[in-house]
Amino acid sequence: MAKKLTLKEWSEKSLTKDDWNFSPFSKLPKSAISRVYQWELDRELGSGKGPFASDANNKKWLADISKGNYVDLPVANVTSQSGATFKTGKEGASLVADGKSTLHVFQINWHCSKQELVDAFTEWVEEEHETPFNTFPTNTRGRPRHQFTLLEKISIHRFHQVGFSGGPKFFRENAKDKYKAGLKRINWTLAQREINLHLKQRTKELARITKQTGKDWKKVLYS
């Protein structure tokens, strides 16, 4: 039997605006948003931390980004057997000049969850970046979501925990709140299902960290 998740409990009193309003992060680079999302997922799983921007180190990191001191992903040079040099990138550059190679160089953002990485590779295959072969068509779940939408789904998860279902009354009472009103475009039932799936996946990742280090993941990641 699968182990039941033990999640952080929210109440209307404990849920502050900083816990659900992620609009200050909407303009961050994608990989930076993934870092915020992971932090907030871990809060749900008991990290004991407060909102992302309340942490001193995170404040400094956000300040550096606002000054332009941020590289979305580091770039590394790779040299093929023929002597040609390629840079890592989202396009998955082919390791031969004529584009017939099945070897490609990618940047990988390890702040992303396992499912986000799978979705990103699926998108790359569908768009056939520099690939000389056609993949067999399959039914897919559509394009990966924008990272910021994942933060909005964290908001929905937390509102759901305090008793809001995303019905007409919620949006009527919050019509003047731009962030809350924007959540109307998202299916709350599906959002809750997706967040629960991500929480289960993250629980497994954290269990592996604990097993590999012999220390509680909270001490490894957040001490």
The full DSSP string for 63-116 is HHHHTT---SS---EEE-TTS-EEE-BTT-EESSTTS--S-EEB---TTS-HHH
Q: pLDDT band at residue 3, thresholds of 50, 70 and 90?
A: low
The model's pLDDT over 93-151, given as tens digits with 9 standing for 90+, comes to 655 555 555 666 677 777 666 767 777 777 666 665 555 554 444 443 334 456 789 99
The pLDDT confidence band at residue 2, using thresholds 50, 70 and 90, is: very low
Q: Tell me, what's the pLDDT at 69?
A: 75
If phi > 0 it is left, if psi is from -120 to 50 it is alpha, else beta; for residue 101 that is: beta
Cα–Cα distance between 36 and 22 in angstroms, integer? 9
Residue 29 pLDDT class (50, 70, 90 cuts): confident
Strands (E) located in the chain: 77-79, 85-87, 93-94, 104-105
The one-letter amino acid at 136: F
Domain residue spans of the chain: 17-70+143-222
Q: Which secondary-structure segment (H or E) carries 207? A: helix 188-213
pLDDT at 183 over 80: yes
Cβ count within 10 A of residue 29: 15
Q: What is the mean pLDDT of residues 7-25?
A: 95
